Structure 1
Amino acid sequence: MLKYGLQMDLPEGKRAGYYSQIVKALAEAATVFDRDKELIVVDDEQQRDNVAGVLAKYSVDWEPIALWLLPEGTELDARAEDFGFVSKFGNAYLYADRVSRFRFADPQPAGAELAPALLQIEEFVVFAAGGDDAAAKTYFAESHLRETIEGIASRYGASVQFS
């Protein structure tokens, strides 16, 4: 599931009350899904805009960050840590600008050979979720490898769908 992050650049040297005011205003303006240090995560663009309004009011610079929320209880291995993080509340995310999400199309074209296609594609997979069935899983790979993955699938008569 796609989530919307705001990476704040909090000003230095402000009194403690200043930060408390921001936290209170954020609680009134939006439903915050998660936090991690200076990153606020919300469910949708409207909530992101609400948070952005509060940050603008307090002259806090921020950058938008799109995040893929991974299934509950996910632990990122060493490779995936280069593309995401686990928040202080235990939610795992991948940065949407660094990875692309895809699945094998359902149904597959006649004669598709999923097993050998997947064997080669797995080399490029950063994270996979959704059980043991390759066709039912959701995969994440580095964004710049999209054409490579599509090409491998095509060589085996298979089809992948990116979202």
Structure 2
Amino acid sequence: MKLAKMIGLDMHLPAGKLPGFYAQIIKGIAQNAPLYGRYKELLIFKSEDQIPQALKVLEHYRVPSERCDLLLLPPEGLEQDDLFDDYAIITRNENIFVDLALVALFTIHATKPDAEPAPALLQLKEHMIGNISSNNVTMHLIDRQLKELADRIAKAYSCDVEWHY
């Protein structure tokens, strides 16, 4: 399963500026580095090559930003769990992203004869953000801070976890 990794710049807009200020920034960036999408103050770019141009525009307007690595999730085969809304970034054009600083993706494998992947996944269910299924492969999304927990639970059921992002 091939997922698209993209780059985000999370702007820290100064307080008290008129709405036109934001529009000027977006227009300036769009002229130099095409935006893939945006969500509030988060600007999303498809390529690393676009970041220097976008940063020049932000520097011109004296707007600091933080870079983040984002993963574009495919809408087909995506199943959302209870925590999904806490982690998902849904842009104006309805693309769905997760921040890789917060979310990790894994598959679980039954590598031993006594492996029980179903109960392992059931125990992890309350921590799941969602999963993506494609071509008989299911990739699970979980809070990055819970990677060690997922590894321990999988091991208890004689399974292995393969981390993808």
Q: Same fold (TM over 0.5)?
A: yes
What is the CA-CA distance between 1:130 and the residue it aligns to?
A: 0.9
Q: Residues 61-100 of structure 1: matches in 2 within 5 Å?
A: 61-72=64-75, 78-100=82-104
Q: What letter corresponds to residue 82 of structure 1 in structure 2?
A: D
In the alignment, is the contact (CA less than 8 A) between 1:102 and 1:138 conserved in 2? Answer: yes
Deviations 1:18-54 (A, max 9, x none): 5554333312321211012221101233322331122
Cα distance change of structure 1 residues 114 and 82 upon mapping to structure 2, 3 Å threshold: same
**Number of aligned residue pairs:** 158
Quote the Cα distance in structure 1 between the aligned partners of 2:117 and 2:79.
27
What is the CA-CA distance between 1:13 and the residue it aligns to?
A: 3.2
- Aligned to 1:31, the other structure's residue is in SS state coil
Q: What residue number does 1:145 align with?
A: 146
TM-score scaled by structure 2? Answer: 0.80
What stretches of structure 1 move > 3 A for 4+ residues in a row? 11-16, 18-21, 73-78
Q: What residue number does 2:8 align with?
A: 5
- Aligned to 1:53, the other structure's residue is in SS state helix
| 2:127 maps to 1:124 | yes
Q: Alignment identity in percent?
A: 30
What is the CA-CA distance between 1:96 and the residue it aligns to?
A: 1.8
Cα distance change of structure 1 residues 59 and 115 upon mapping to structure 2, 3 Å threshold: same
Quote the Cα distance in structure 1 between the aligned partners of 2:23 and 2:120.
53
Q: What residue number does 2:160 align with?
A: 159
| 2:108 maps to 1:104 | yes
In the alignment, is the contact (CA less than 8 A) between 1:10 and 1:60 conserved in 2? Answer: yes
Quote the Cα distance in structure 2 between the aligned partners of 1:98 and 1:88.
21
Give structure 2 stretches of 5+ with no counterpart.
none
Give structure 1 stretches of 5+ with no counterpart.
none
TM-score scaled by structure 1? Answer: 0.81
The RMSD of aligned alpha carbons is 2.5
In the alignment, is the contact (CA less than 8 A) between 1:26 and 1:51 conserved in 2? Answer: yes
- Aligned to 1:127, the other structure's residue is in SS state strand
